[in-house]
Structure 1
Amino acid sequence: MTDIHSYLKNYDGPPVRLMEVCGTHTAQISRCGIVSMLSPSIHMISGPGCPVCVTVTAYIDRLVKLCMEPENVVVSFGDMLRVKGSHKNLNDAKAEGGRVRMVYSPQDALKMAVADPKHTYIFAAVGFETTAPVYTMLLEEAEASGVKNLKILTSLKTMPPVIDWICENQGGVDGFLAPGHVSVITGSRAFAPLAEKYGIPFAVAGFEGEQILAAIYALVKKRGKGEVMNLYPSAVTEEGNVSAQRMVEKYFEPCDAAWRGMGTIPASGIILRGEYARYDAGSAGLNEDCGANANCRCAEVLTGAISPLECPLFGSCCNPQSPQGACMVSMEGSCYNYYVNTRKV
């Protein structure tokens, strides 16, 4: 590993821009001070790897509306409660009388629904390929137990189409640190068509600092070569988790999906199939993305167009205690991690 450290610190070849598209990688890169271990010619860019961050305001607005209806209870993970829609977030709605519950597992929503049949419990199902199988388990249990008062509002997205969008519209990326958690489900081969199409390398990486450095080293060495390297073989295979893939295909089908700052990307999301529409709380057509603060530049941060440091709100009126944008809310968000780890580049 000493040779890798030395190579990355002293690299003096052509400038290389590498993008990570996993929120856990974003957090670890900042937490471990990995940028300080790299040559100034190696530039790390955070991409759209945080599912909370890429969720559009129309989705939040829909949740807010649902929780204010007396027959409903909206159930969510904690970070979603603080993301603003076009006017307010779920915490604001709760303060105004909306029924909102924070949980640590989607299965908690099922327990609540069973215990309280007078209300419909709606889970905010946000995520990428990693979390989609969890929601299939929730639906399986609801089916098996005959629960009628449980629904999900989905904002489930898939990673390859948005990477394709970044390469096609943003450009300037010489390699991708592929998402380890997503790759466990999809398999490393999911990124092979993109590597070939754009002639750039992908490195599937684990989450320890040394694993990330090894992946960066591999990407720099393979610059200009369209191939996928699986550097996380203890958890990732070429074909992925086939059983999980089949479960997702049983309940969900591809759909166009809206991404914060990127608009609607064809076939970049999944939505409940028609035969399971009774579990859907109105997920289709949530495409509007009206920022609560016009000066917030989360959209540009998510695509790698700017760093959080270039947003005029960063560190002043926008901080983890008073977030103005989704990238400062989530612990996987770029702005949050720049702020809490005092990252300077």
Structure 2
Amino acid sequence: MRMMSKKKTLNKINQKRKITYKDFVGRDLYQLIRNAKDKIKIDYKFWYTQPVPKINDEFDENVNEPFISDNKVEDVRKEEYKLPSGYAWCVCDITKENDRSDIYNLLTDNYVEDDDNVFRFNYSSEFLLWALSSPNYVKNWHIGVKYESTNKLVGFISAIPIDMCVNKNIIKMAEVNFLCVHKSLRSKRLAPVLIKEITRRINLESIWQAIYTAGVYLPKPISTARYFHRSINVKKLIEIGFSCLNTRLTMSRAIKLYRIDDTLNIKNLRLMKKKDIDGLQKLLNEHLKQYNLHAIFSKEDVAHWFTPIDQVIYTYVNEENGEIKDLISFYSLPSKV
């Protein structure tokens, strides 16, 4: 995920297009093909040792099966991968405040930032607990690397189990997230070791596919996600350098352009309650069926991912005659300047 550069003007919306290989049209298709051809020239030394397709690999679109299908748990490496001298593996217990604090401090100073190194996502302890304690999560998949002499957390990677539907096939996968290495240790190539170790632990649970996102082009994307920025407190965003003005966009014009109505014009919209779980699950899964790649939500998943938690996750439903007709859900993720 990439954050908007402070050089972007307010009237430019940062977006990543949601695309699958068979859905490209016009300019999007031209741009992606051009980018892909450039990437073919890159030598992905680490990724080409992993069980993923190469950038220029082509597949028969009628084939609907795993990339590698003859995996066996007994063939999976039983020992942890070796770390550089002075470093040790640890399991971060997401239910313990001290462990969450260690993860928070690592991410706050070393995780995703914008191109100018000005803004960085600020994941709260409560957010991390929500994001990493999904139903049936595996404690052993919250992997840390500590510096032995100080016991300081300097690396982290996590995964949670997820049921995915791929071309109507339901597959148990792992969703990998929060790969982070302390800035001072980037030259030690800890990230590839973290990736191999999380892969090993996932494979030991007889799970052979994983899904993850990246802000860079890696072998080989199956989809991209589109997201938008909607400025709310325009004056503050301009003052901190997140957005900027130009000759055509003055401060007063920007404030007027992005002003939000004082009253809500959507009828029957209210905060989600626990009684809505069944209706929300039915609505959500029915909607997702139209896509070739989507998550499948159990009632437990819906309860975890959508039940409102202050300053973490918010879900609103549109109810008509006792039936859930629509929903809006978003999470709260501040940025640190």
Name the TM-score class by shorter chain.
Answer: under 0.3
Q: Which has the higher helix share?
A: 1
